[in-house]
Amino acid sequence: MPVTRPAERPRTPFFSSGPCAKRPGWTSDVLKDAPLGRSHRAKVGKAKLKLAIDLTREVLQVPADYRIGIVPASDTGAVEMALWSLLGARSVDLLAWESFGEGWVTDVVKQLKLTDARVIKSGYGELPNLAEVDTKARDVVFTWNGTTSGVRVPNADWIAADREGLTICDATSAAFSQRLDWPKLDVVTFSWQKALGGEAAHGMLILSPRAVQRLESYTPSWPLPKIFRMTKGGKLIEGIFEGETINTPSMLCVEDYLDALNWAKREGGLDGLVARSDRNAKVILDWVGRTPWIANLAADPATASNTSVCLVIADPEVVAKGKDTVAAVAKGIASTLEKEGVAFDIGAYRDAPPGLRIWCGATVETADLEALTPWLDWAFAQEKAKLLAQAA
């Protein structure tokens, strides 16, 4: 049956999983108070950076005794700082079920060359068996939400409360859209350009008191670049966690992040952001439930992401023609909708199974996702018609 070209378009067609959509109503006017041309070490710069830390704590409900630092190189930089500075004191379990988790495995096993590292893996769309993880005795490195697979841990119940090791959590597509169980987490990282739609290149590193104790009592056997060093003379460099950044931050980006945090407060803080993300994801997941040609890559609804929703082509006629055809159809949908100005950057991540990835985080408007789904149906119909015409 032919699919009619939709009449209504999303007002904001930005559905990229990073950098993500700016908050609703954003204009460049919000940047007018950025202290451009000023040193980040001047009073005004330090005050802005400290405010960013304080608002992060408030919105994410971070415990008062956890340190929060602004670090270079986005979430990747924050994770690398943690891995290179903290690992090696005891054995470690590494969890991987998508590309970013795989990246941390590579760094620990091939770069740090830790021989007592155990890798616990699963394929895209599934979580590893969390019961295999030894959170009592070993350090653990994992992503809370698999950005490239759309699969997240449902909670932190699998982490021992009386653990001896540290939990290092890459939460870059979970923070501000999912609830993090702080007592179970010792290191949490994320970047500004994900759930709040901030600008790139700045990362956040959050440390529990247990992580600080590790930093102050353990010296890795390998040299640490200056950009990774968080201690001096066996003591934490407290300034890092009070706005005295390791390298020069962009005060323009800081101003943008402050705007996003203040918007988050107006939306009801963490509760409001999680509700927005859940509502957004429901639009896509309900559409998937009634649409036979598409499926969620996440095999278990209990572990399906509410931010980076990853989808695969499920139409039997398309699937029967093989992976290359599936990939071509998915690419065609994304390309067509980009040309139409309806949806930008919704193709699956390059290492993931071919399909689509639609960001449903809090900065996306529900009405835009509701307007998007008919266009997805229409674009798929166009691609399938081309396929059938070629086979005729």
Residue-wise pLDDT tens digits, 273-310: 999 999 999 999 999 999 999 999 999 999 999 999 99
Give the model confidence (pLDDT) of 4-55 as tens digits.
999 999 999 999 999 999 999 999 999 999 999 999 999 999 999 999 999 9
The Cα 271–Cα 369 span in angstroms is: 21
- Structure confidence at residue 388 as a pLDDT band (50, 70, 90): confident
The Cα 273–Cα 278 span in angstroms is: 9
Provide CATH code, domain 28-265: 3.40.640.10
The Cα 236–Cα 231 span in angstroms is: 4
Q: For 194, which DSSP code?
A: S
Residue closest to 354 by CA, chosen among 337, 375, 329: 329
Same fold flag, 28-265 and 269-386: no
Q: CA–CA distance from 37 to each of 94, 192, 200, 243, 292 (Å)?
A: 43, 22, 19, 18, 55
DSSP 3-state assignment of 140? strand
Taken in order 364, 368, 369, 370, the sign of the CA dihedral is positive
Q: For 338, which DSSP code?
A: H
Predicted local distance difference test score (pLDDT) of residue 391: 80
Q: Which CATH superfamily is domain 269-386 in?
A: Aspartate Aminotransferase, domain 1 (3.90.1150.10)
pLDDT (mean) for 63-69? 98
pTM score above 0.85: yes
Is 70 exceeded by the pLDDT of residue 1?
Answer: no
Is 80 exceeded by the pLDDT of residue 2?
Answer: no
Question: What is the share, in percent, of the chain residues with pLDDT greater than 70?
Answer: 99
What are the residues whose beta carbons fall under 8 Å from the beta carbon of 391, sequence distance 6 or more? Answer: none
Q: In the chain, what are the domain boundaries?
A: 28-265, 269-386
Give the model confidence (pLDDT) of 313-322 as tens digits.
999 999 999 9
Is 80 exceeded by the pLDDT of residue 355?
Answer: yes
Is 80 exceeded by the pLDDT of residue 392?
Answer: no
The Cα 121–Cα 67 span in angstroms is: 30
Q: CA–CA distance from 9 to each of 14, 187, 279, 340 (Å)?
A: 12, 41, 19, 9
CA atoms within 13 A on the CB side of 190: 29
DSSP 3-state assignment of 297? coil
The residue written with tokens 């023609």 in the block is 321
Is 60 exceeded by the pLDDT of residue 90?
Answer: yes
Is 70 exceeded by the pLDDT of residue 251?
Answer: yes
Q: What is the CA radius of gyration of the chain?
A: 22
The Cα 166–Cα 59 span in angstroms is: 24
Report residue 355 as tokens. 């399909």
Predicted local distance difference test score (pLDDT) of residue 18: 94
Q: CA–CA distance from 51 to each of 12, 36, 243, 255 (Å)?
A: 29, 17, 8, 10
Predicted local distance difference test score (pLDDT) of residue 3: 86
Report residue 85 as tokens. 């500075």
Give the model confidence (pLDDT) of 110-158 as tens digits.
999 999 999 999 999 999 999 999 999 999 999 999 999 999 999 999 9
